[in-house]
Amino acid sequence: MTAPTIRVQSENFDLQVEIDALTAGRKDIGAVVTFTGLCRDEQGQLFALELEHYPGMAEAEMRRIADLAMTRFSLLGLTAIHRYGKILPGENIVLVIAAAPHRQAAFDGANFVMDFLKTAAPFWKKEHAADGTAGEWVPAKDADDAAREKWR
Amino acid sequence: MTAPTIRVQSENFDLQVEIDALTAGRKDIGAVVTFTGLCRDEQGQLFALELEHYPGMAEAEMRRIADLAMTRFSLLGLTAIHRYGKILPGENIVLVIAAAPHRQAAFDGANFVMDFLKTAAPFWKKEHAADGTAGEWVPAKDADDAAREKWR
Amino acid sequence: MKVNLVYFAWVRERIGKGEEEIDLPDSVVTVRDLLEHLKGLGEEYENAFQYTNVIRVAINQEHVEHDEPIAGAREIGIFPPMTGG
Amino acid sequence: MKVNLVYFAWVRERIGKGEEEIDLPDSVVTVRDLLEHLKGLGEEYENAFQYTNVIRVAINQEHVEHDEPIAGAREIGIFPPMTGG
């Protein structure tokens, strides 16, 4: 079992580069599922999101979630990258890649990591409005807690 | 609703290029899920897979499946690319990309397309052994039919 | 009735060709009739269609069941269960 | 007992700083005790901890419940529900 790749960074990422790093030289991977979360524009009123995180704990928590997923779904590889700082509409926020011999494990692994990452990884989003007004912190969604419950 | 991108080709594909084509200039997409199917080596005995397809019908069937998924999961975009010809262990076979406002629709859309693509798109795999012996056609799996049933 | 038949994967290999145009007697009405008719065309066909229940058929590039009438078909694709993806 | 406190998001903004070291009285045993204690340190703290039940806490960078003892904590992170991903 390869250790998951975990990164918290301000720069963007390239999916193909990250997948290549995960699958290079391997012939046992039959399925790779990726999830990319992007900054959506809320009806043209959003200038940018600002992503704050808890340095150290963010990586540690992502690693705990990744390790759980590796074991639970017998994954062959996992990458989780979360950006911080200012992110414009249409830009990437988060990437999860799960690799497995077969497709359902890869789908479940990536989905599981996202559900836990949303509710347990210490990141917070603040909205900056297009009209320059002071930003509001995005409220947590009950739906995200509910999504996490499906893995019990 | 953007029409799905459907391609049947012998060349490899680059995920980031395909995602960029799907999301370029858009600010309404919050989630992109990709599935990549790769050629696995069966215990070091596989030299290559040969993918045969029914030209014309392969594209038509992929488009029918893609249209179903777009409607059912209210997707904002969908790309499905299937390769044909000789494919070595570790190389890509198939790519599905589903884009949606939120994550579950993107996950379900990509998963649905793969389940139907496996059982309904006219492609066939033949194995060529590492020792040069004549290839065997890969038998269809009951598990693939069962996977498709979950969408009824 | 004349139709174009196209074969794929081991159906193609067993018959020894990828396509052919054949003339069908009026008694061939459904896909099932067609497969039984083909089975009688020689050893290679008998070999390809030994178990007709596993054979998949598409008329004009759309999947059909074995009880589907073939009237009006321009192209009939005949092949084993699919294994793509 | 001295501990390092780190604040994030609107907890940080309301208190007006990102971190501080504070000296706690012996009566502060659990996370819940800590939050109640902080609430009494001034208007900005009262504002941040008006509804303590929504506040999330991590001890040494691991999530804990409000009934967790804080003994031995080097760093206590205090923040709103997370909204990443």
Given a contact cutoff of 8 angstroms between Cβ atoms, the answer to whether C64 and C31 are in contact is yes
| Reported confidence tier of residue A1, pLDDT bands at 50, 70, 90 | low
Nearest CA in chain C to B123: C84
- Chain A: closest CA distance from residue D10 (Å): 7
Residue B147: which pLDDT band, with cuts at 50, 70 and 90?
confident
**Cβ–Cβ gap B57/C61 under 8 Å:** yes
Order the strands of the D75-79 sheet from edge to edge.
D19-23, D2-7, D75-79, D56-59, D62-64
ipTM over 0.90: yes
**Alpha-carbon distance C85 to nearest alpha carbon in chain B (angstroms):** 5
Euclidean distance between CA atoms C82 and D5, whole angstroms: 60
Mean pLDDT across chain A, nearest whole number?
A: 94
How many Å separate Cα B98 from the centre of its chain?
11
The average confidence (pLDDT) of chain D is 97
Q: Residue-wise over B70-87: b if at least 16 C-beta within 10 A, else e?
A: beebebbbbbbbbbbeeb
Convert the pLDDT of each residue in D61-83 to its tens digit. 999 999 999 999 999 999 999 99
Tokens of B37: 């199917």
B66 sits in which H/E element: helix B57-72
d(CA C18, CA C6): 6
In angstroms, the separation between the Cα of residue B6 and the nearest Cα of chain A is: 19
All chains having 3 or more CB pairs closer than 8 angstroms to chain D? A
Beta strand extents in B39-140 (DSSP E only): 46-53, 77-83, 85-87, 92-100, 123-129, 136-137
Asked if the Cβ–Cβ distance from C83 to B56 is below 8 Å, we say no
pTM over 0.90: yes
Classify D2-79 by CATH class.
Answer: alpha beta
- Nearest by CB to C77, which of B54, B93, B144? B54
Residue B129 pLDDT > 90: no
- The architecture of the domain spanning B5-149 is Alpha-Beta Complex (3.90)
Contact state of A122 with D77 under an 8 Å Cβ cutoff: yes
Q: Is A53 on the interface with D (CB under 8 A)?
A: yes
| pLDDT tens digit sequence for A13-42 | 999 999 999 999 999 999 999 999 999 987
Over the range B114-145, which residues count as b (16 or more CB within 10 Å of their CB) and which as e? bbbbbbbbbbbbbbbeeeeeeeebbebeeebe
Q: How far is A20 from chain B (nearest CA, A)?
A: 10
Question: Given this model, what pLDDT does residue A142 score?
Answer: 85
Position B135 scores a pLDDT of 83
Bridge partners (DSSP) listed for residue B79: B5, B97
Residue B93: closest C-alpha in chain A? A30
Tell me, what's the pLDDT at D65? 98
Domain positions in chain B: 5-149
- What three-state secondary structure class fits B11? coil
How is chain C split into domains, by residue range?
2-79
Report residue C42: phi and psi, to 5°: 140, 170
CB contact under 8 A, A106 and B23: no
Chain C hits for B57, CB-CB cut-off 8 Å, are: 58, 61-62, 77
Chain A neighbours among D 32-61 (CB < 8 Å)?
Answer: 58, 61
